[in-house]
Chain A
Amino acid sequence: MDWLNAVIQGLLLGGQYALLACGLSLIFGVMRIVNLAHGVIAVAAAYVALWLVQDGSVPLLLALVVVVPVFAAAGYALQRGLFNPALGGGELAPLLVSFGLGIVLTNVLQQVFSADSRSIGIGSLGTSSVPLAPDLSVGVFSLLTFVVGVGVIAAVQLFLSRTSTGRAMRATSDDPETAQLMGIDQRHLYGVATAIAIGTVALAGVFVGMSTQFSPTYGDLVLIFAFEAVIVGGLGSLWGTLLGGLVLGVAQTVGAQVDPAYGILAGHLVFLAVLLVRPSGLMPRTVTA
């Protein structure tokens, strides 16, 4: 029962990783940018939500409803203002720009909120659980995070496969120059993709803030887990990212079951093993450009 429990907790944790990784995967899939500021943006969203709740006395749910669109709008501006110009400067430029942005944001968070660890209080939601079987129960909040994670991935995937804008994004990912000949404004479309990505990572960041202690540098860990989920799943595939998140989560909890000190290490080892054995990930895009 302990092992089964570890696997189930791992799957739930994996839902959180998938939620964290969704935006990273989308930005890479559409425009081949690895956004190194991804983790600290999640943490920034957690701080903003915390600030709204504590200093503004805003209900937590309302804070979420505010944070997500505000971050999405900031994502659009980030793309149009920083990433789009950088894309003209070669492969490395967007990577360096996002690296710089991450450092600046981390420092701003330290200045504004100090380096102390914080968390967003959720009261009894954090401690209540539902029994699945005798000896086996799952936390309500973990379950909620999992459902939100799977739901967000499914929604973004549905958007990509069913809507006109989503189709245009896939076309642009295949062949940006030809996509422009179809009347697609690449700079705007990239802005929309980044808006969605940053909106989802902001949501993920608030969930992280509700589930654990965070500080301005916590974004590094978030970035690593999100990156591992994306790579394990396969670049450019959102279902792959979901799978990657689940594999990573299960690896960590099962590893911790062996020895509590090995949890995170087990996740890294699975990541390295996938890189060695299947560098394209578990579910790479079936058709490549």
Chain B
Amino acid sequence: MNALLSVEGVDVHHGDLQALHGLDLTLDEGETLAVIGANGAGKTTLLRTIAGSLRATRGEVRLDGDPIGSTPAHVRVARGIALTPEGRRIFPSLTVEENLLVGGYRGRKGPWDLRSVYELFPLVHGRRTRAGAHLSGGEQQATAIGRALMANPRLLLLDEVSLGLAPVVVKEIYAALPQVVARGTTVLVVEQDLNQALGVADRVQCLLEGRTVLEGPAATISREDVTAAYFGLQE
């Protein structure tokens, strides 16, 4: 059986700067993977390459074994890939509800619609008529996740969920993730907060300067190894 997602030997450049060096990653259906790493490790670049905002200069991205490296981002959404981007990127002039509806613009059929997203995030429901520009960070993040869910993705990519949010808000948002996974969505979460990452994921992959330096099941991996890999310390 093919993995849901496989990233094979991918190089990605930003101009002259190479951000990913022959990176590999596989993700089976139903699995939750946390990608961790310091600032500038290449995590956002990796997610944007999977979602189609960036193109690999070498290597291939496959969904169900089919190469999608040259498929435009908007088509990948219809194929089942949704990204909650770093910085949330809520559409400022649209209301919260309009943001969610745009998320479902070309999505697949499935369990997620306005009602189920509002049930998942009551805090979003309370803000549904408010303009995106006037949301707190936590409201933005919950709206951004809801917006991605509206496409009923098979693979949900979450970039820096907890960045800049108060701990209670982070807890509330992470508390919703098991319900997402329970409805059959495979989740790839990028996170700088190690505890959150290890708490939510089945498996952890740690990046350093565009390469994988550590990979393993979240339950058995030792915090010392993760910390060492994270900062690039040699044994």
Contact = CB atoms under 8 A, between A and B. Distances in A.
A178 B133 CA distance: 15
B150 to A, nearest CB: 9
B53 A179 contact: no
Interface string B72-98: 111101100011010001011110001
Interface in B43-57: 51-53
A289 B74 contact: no
B74 A175 contact: no
A184 interface: yes
Contact of A180 (B73, B92, B131, B132): B73
Contacts of A179: 91, 102
Given A182-B151, A183-B107, A288 B102 contact: no
A182 B93 CA distance: 16
B92 A167 contact: no
B105 A180 contact: no
B74 A171 contact: no
B93 A181 contact: no
A289 B83 CA distance: 20
Contacts, number: 78
A181 B73 contact: yes
Contact of A167 (B83, B102, B106): B102
Nearest to A236: B93
B101 interface: yes
Contact of A183 (B74, B94, B99): B74
B98 A167 contact: yes
A226 interface: no
Contact of A178 (B72, B89, B101, B131): B89
Nearest to A289: B92
Interface string B20-62: 0000000000000000000000000000000111000000000
B105 A168 contact: yes
A178 B98 CA distance: 14
A287 B131 contact: yes
Interface in A63-118: none
A182 B53 contact: no
A285 B93 contact: yes
B90 to A, nearest CB: 9
Given A164-B101, A184-B74, A178 B85 contact: yes
Contacts of A182: 74, 77, 102-103, 105-106, 147, 151
A280 interface: no
A87 to B, nearest CB: 15
A80 B233 CA distance: 52
A185 B74 contact: yes
B72 A174 contact: no
Which of A164, A182, A184 has the most B CB atoms < 10 Å from its CB?
Answer: A182
Interface of A: 164, 167-168, 170-171, 173-175, 177-186, 285, 287-289
16 contacts: A164-B101, A164-B105, A167-B98, A167-B101, A167-B102, A170-B93, A174-B92, A180-B72, A181-B51, A181-B53, A181-B85, A182-B106, A183-B75, A184-B105, A287-B93, A288-B92
Interface of B: 51-53, 72-75, 77-78, 82-83, 85, 89, 91-94, 98-99, 101-103, 105-107, 131-133, 147, 151
